[in-house]
């Protein structure tokens, strides 16, 4: 049976020793009540609830899945009770605005609890996650009246939320959606259309479901500039906050998926359903992208959570499974064979997974810190710089962490050999479940295009130049520690590759319309590898003075050196692909395919 223990020691190292987040909390008037003792208590309780309540439901939820009966979706056994406990524990509102009943924890706290949640049960995680994202979009764009009416209920878990974008004919190209909104005399709108792939579109976990729906008014401009956002509740809400009549929104069916089977992915039909405008007319995408960007970081964390639980199981198996003898000769002569860990290739797979996990954990905290600075910093210039950094790293967090997370789960499964393909060990579910993270909330190819096109070419590399300068400051601060050359020299070389790739991207875009798209994925992976090297340098700097005190720190340095020597050289291959341009890709006629 699968096992999992939340990596609390590593989380605390990243938060308090690498980034010293407590210092940032104390500097913000909004975070004066956040302390290390409080956060450690939160993490301990999060781990306990996740390990004891949610983790046991992961496999049974996958086996049972969701079902539709008479227009009602039922989640697997145990999910409703677990959701109620989760809500009553205050977990849904952990990072939410206290004005609406939230606890106001910064993102540097919730990234850690989110990782635990995604590791133990990704299907369950999506139900509260979508409500939090919907509430975030509303809090920034809806009227105070709508916020006070809906947000406290969402944060309390009494109601939940969804994001309704995709239609049967319109996925990434939202400009061609057909869902229509017609204004009514009372200020509401009638929403008519069909949405697909709606996570948690219908379920039995909460009393009401609040749908955020993209639609177009009859006189809206064509394309994405004509999209508006509407709040459409499953049950209408009376003036006193009680539930009224059922709205004209129904589940058409649920999808039968490769993974996350305990998450109800629904086709939703809106038949002149009553809705209310969120934000301004024809500016729905701006409001929706508040939610989308939140979800994109969360998807990166989903990749990390999956690869962490996969690693823990693969490492446990490799310690116990006896297969063959060491190339150096028998290591455990009293046994019929040696454990798998004696084999260098098994160690290669495990170390590659763990090197990804620890760098990804550090990177999510790095992005979370920027999110907190963008929200809480008193200096407008500091907030703007942090917001720019978040914009740059959101597509990397989503795409790179999920691409590498999927690869990590496959490597962990490979450690099991044939048993990795057998259901009872749990590894095949991790591979199936994490695969979706590369697809939803904007496919990873789209994320790469966003990075290369919008975040680099459009501003002539300004965001990248700011990041490069930050890394150079770190390198300069480490130059007097010769023992850290194993980290600083490879990072400096990777930074040079990133700068060269950025220059190439800008040059190619000026003369070839296909060049940016052709280079995008390789550029994103080169950038992602460089950020991992950056994270490992930060962790090495924090661990170096303490390596004689505790094995934890010495092991951190050894694993970082493994990443630098064995995994980081991939930047050269990615740079070569960027340098090649689009010609080899675009030379084939359409008839070839």
Q: What is the mean pLDDT of residues 331-354?
A: 96
Nearest CA to 374 among 392, 393, 390?
390
CA atoms lying within 13 Å on the CB side of residue 62? 22
Task: Please give the pLDDT value at position 1.
Answer: 80
- pLDDT digits over 500-537, tens only? 999 999 999 999 999 999 999 999 999 999 999 999 99
Rounded (5°) CA angle 538-20-30 = 135
550 is catalytic: no
Q: Decide: 225 and 282 in contact? Cβ < 8 Å.
A: yes
Q: Decide: 51 and 120 in contact? Cβ < 8 Å.
A: yes
Question: How many Å apart are CA 356 and CA 374, to the nearest integer?
Answer: 27
Judge whether residue 294 has pLDDT over 80. no
Rounded (5°) CA angle 453-176-259 = 75
Collapsing DSSP states into helix, strand and coil, what is residue 2?
coil
Judge whether residue 292 has pLDDT over 90. no
Q: Is 86 exposed, middle or buried (0-12, 13-18, 19+ CB in 10 A)?
A: buried
Question: How many Å apart are CA 152 and CA 98, to the nearest integer?
Answer: 9
| H or E, element range at 253 | strand 249-254
Question: How many Å apart are CA 412 and CA 404, to the nearest integer?
Answer: 12
Q: Which of 80-89, 163-172, 235-244 has the lowest mean pLDDT?
A: 163-172
pLDDT band at 172 (very low <50, low <70, confident <90, very high): confident
What residue ranges in 66-188 does DSSP mark as E strands? 67-69, 72-74, 159-164, 180-183
pLDDT band at 489 (very low <50, low <70, confident <90, very high): very high
Question: How many Å apart are CA 259 and CA 348, to the nearest integer?
Answer: 27
Identify the bridge partners of residue 72 per DSSP, sorted by sequence position: 69
Token pair in block for residue 24:
């940032």
Task: Please give the pLDDT value at position 293.
Answer: 79
Question: How many Å apart are CA 92 and CA 200, to the nearest integer?
Answer: 15
| H or E, element range at 235 | strand 235-237
pLDDT band at 481 (very low <50, low <70, confident <90, very high): confident
Average pLDDT, the chain: 96
Q: Decide: 555 and 351 in contact? Cβ < 8 Å.
A: no
Q: What is the mean pLDDT of residues 325-352?
A: 95
Nearest CA to 424 among 57, 2, 54?
2
Pairing, β 159-164 against β 208-215: parallel
- What backbone torsions phi and psi does residue 189 show, to the nearest 5 degrees? -135, 150
- From the candidates 167, 295, 308, 441, which is the catalytic residue? 441
Task: Please give the pLDDT value at position 174.
Answer: 82
Nearest CA to 96 among 82, 86, 85, 109?
109
pLDDT band at 246 (very low <50, low <70, confident <90, very high): very high
Token pair in block for residue 581:
């341009």
Torsion of CA 185, 187, 193, 194, to 10 degrees: -150
- pLDDT digits over 103-118, tens only? 999 999 999 999 999 9
- pLDDT digits over 556-567, tens only? 999 999 999 999
Task: Please give the pLDDT value at position 532.
Answer: 98
Q: Which of 291-295, 322-326, 349-353, 423-427 has the lowest mean pLDDT?
A: 291-295
Question: How many Å apart are CA 287 and CA 141, to the nearest integer?
Answer: 6
Identify the bridge partners of residue 99 per DSSP, sorted by sequence position: none
Judge whether residue 36 has pLDDT over 90. yes
pLDDT band at 199 (very low <50, low <70, confident <90, very high): very high
Judge whether residue 287 has pLDDT over 90. no
Which residues in 495-533 are b (16+ Cβ under 10 Å) and which e? bebbeebbebbbebbeebeebbbbbbbbbbbbbbbbbbb
């Amino acid at each position: 049976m699968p096992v999992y223990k939340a990596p609390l020691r590593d989380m605390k190292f990243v938060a308090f020793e690498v980034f010293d987040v407590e210092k940032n909390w104390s500097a913000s008037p909004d975070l004066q009540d956040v302390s290390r003792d409080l956060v450690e208590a939160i993490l301990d309780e999060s781990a306990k609830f996740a390990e004891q309540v949610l983790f046991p439901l992961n496999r049974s939820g996958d086996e049972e899945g969701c079902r539709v009966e008479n227009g009602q979706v039922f989640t697997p056994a145990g999910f409703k009770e677990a959701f109620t406990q989760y809500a009553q524990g205050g977990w849904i509102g952990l990072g939410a605005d206290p004005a609406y009943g939230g606890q106001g924890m910064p993102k540097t706290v919730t990234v850690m609890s989110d990782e635990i949640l995604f590791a133990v049960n990704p299907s369950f995680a999506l139900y509260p996650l979508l409500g939090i994202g919907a509430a975030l979009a509303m809090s920034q764009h809806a009227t105070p009246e709508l916020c006070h009416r809906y947000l406290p209920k969402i944060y309390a878990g009494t109601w939940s939320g969804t994001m309704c974008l995709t239609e049967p004919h319109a996925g990434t190209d939202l400009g061609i959606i057909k869902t229509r909104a017609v204004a009514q005399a009372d200020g509401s709108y009638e929403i008519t259309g069909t949405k697909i792939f709606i996570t948690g579109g219908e379920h039995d976990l909460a009393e009401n479901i609040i749908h955020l729906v993209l639609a177009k008014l009859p006189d809206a401009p064509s394309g994405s500039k004509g999209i508006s956002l509407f709040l459409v509740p499953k049950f209408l809400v009376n003036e006193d906050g009680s539930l009224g009549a059922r709205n004209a929104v129904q589940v058409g069916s649920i999808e039968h998926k490769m993974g996350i089977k305990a998450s109800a992915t629904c086709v939703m039909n809106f038949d002149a359903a009553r809705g209310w405008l969120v934000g301004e007319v024809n500016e729905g995408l701006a409001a929706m992208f508040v939610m989308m960007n939140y979800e994109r970081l969360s998807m990166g964390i989903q990749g990390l959570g999956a690869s962490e639980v996969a690693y823990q199981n693969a490492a446990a198996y490799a310690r116990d499974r006896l297969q063959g003898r060491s190339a150096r000769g028998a290591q455990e002569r009293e046994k019929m064979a040696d454990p798998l860990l004696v084999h260098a290739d098994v160690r290669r797979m495990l170390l590659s997974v763990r090197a990804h996990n620890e760098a990804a954990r550090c990177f999510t905290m790095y992005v979370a810190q920027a999110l907190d600075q963008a929200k809480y910093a008193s200096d407008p210039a500091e907030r703007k710089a942090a917001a720019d950094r978040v914009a740059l790293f959101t597509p990397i967090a989503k795409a790179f962490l999920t691409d590498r997370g999927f690869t990590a789960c496959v490597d962990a499964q490979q450690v099991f050999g044939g048993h990795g393909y057998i259901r009872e060990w749990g590894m095949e579910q991790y591979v199936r479940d994490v695969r979706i993270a590369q697809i939803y909330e904007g496919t990873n190819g789209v994320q790469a295009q966003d990075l290369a096109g919008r975040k680099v070419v459009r501003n002539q590399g300004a965001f990248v130049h700011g990041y490069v300068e930050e890394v150079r400051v770190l390198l300069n601060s480490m130059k007097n520690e010769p023992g850290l050359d194993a980290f600083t020299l490879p990072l400096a070389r990777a930074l040079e590759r990133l700068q060269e790739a950025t220059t190439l991207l800008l040059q190619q875009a000026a003369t070839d319309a296909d060049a940016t798209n052709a280079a995008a994925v390789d550029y994103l992976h080169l950038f992602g590898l460089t950020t991992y090297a950056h994270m490992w340098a930060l962790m090495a700097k924090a661990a170096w003075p303490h390596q004689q005190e505790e094995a934890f720190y010495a092991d951190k340095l050894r694993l970082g050196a493994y990443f630098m020597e064995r995994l980081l050289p991939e930047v050269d291959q990615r740079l070569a692909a960027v340098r090649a341009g689009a010609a080899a890709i675009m030379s084939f006629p359409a008839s070839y395919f």
